Amino acid sequence: MASKVYDHLKQVPELPQKVNTKKTRPKKIAWVDEDNCTGCQACIPFCPVDCIEPVPADKYTWPPIPPVHVRENECIGCQICAKVCTKLTWDAIRMVNTNEYEERFDTIID
Ligand code: SF4
Ligand code: SF4
C-alpha cells in the first residue's frame, strides 16, 4: 500500500529553483475551473513563473476560502500546475489551446 502512495508522489513535479518569465507565446495555457478548485493553494509554489494566485477577495462571497486563478498572460503552458493539482489534491486545472482560450474569453494572449 505504502509503495503505491510513493509511486503516485513520484509523478509530482519538482519545485522550481528560481522564478522565470515568459519568453514566447505558449500553445496552451492553464485555466482553473474555479467552481472545482478548493483554494488549497498547493499548486502555487510549483509554478515556474509564479503566475497563480487567489482570485480577488471580492469575486466570491462564498466559499470562505477562495479559489485560485492564473494570470493568463504570464503562463508558459508548462502544465506543472495541472499535474500537481491532479496528483496532490484535486483536478481543477485544464490546459486549454491558446487560440481557443482567446476566443472563449475574448482576450489576447501575447
Ligand atoms: S491545487 Fe488545484 S484545488 Fe488546490 S488551489 Fe490549485 S487548482 Fe485549486
Ligand atoms: S501551466 Fe501552470 S505552472 Fe505552468 S506556467 Fe502556467 S500556470 Fe504556471
The distance of Cα 90 from the centroid of its chain, to the nearest Å, equals 11
Report the nearest-CA residue for atom 8 of ligand 2: 47
Which runs of E-coded beta strand occur in 33-106? Answer: 52-54, 68-70, 93-97
Domain 2-105 bears CATH identifier 3.90.10.10: no
Q: How confident is the model at residue 6 (pLDDT cuts 50, 70, 90)?
A: confident
Q: Does the pLDDT value for residue 1 go beyond 70?
A: no
Average pLDDT, stretch 48-63? Answer: 93
pLDDT for 67-102, tens place per residue?
999 999 999 999 999 999 999 998 999 999 999 999
CA of 59 to the centre of ligand 1 (A): 17
pLDDT for 11-43, tens place per residue?
888 999 999 999 999 999 999 999 999 999 999
Residue 104, CA distances (Å) to 74, 81, 96, 99, 107 in order: 18, 21, 10, 9, 8
Q: 4 φ, ψ to 5°?
A: -65, -40
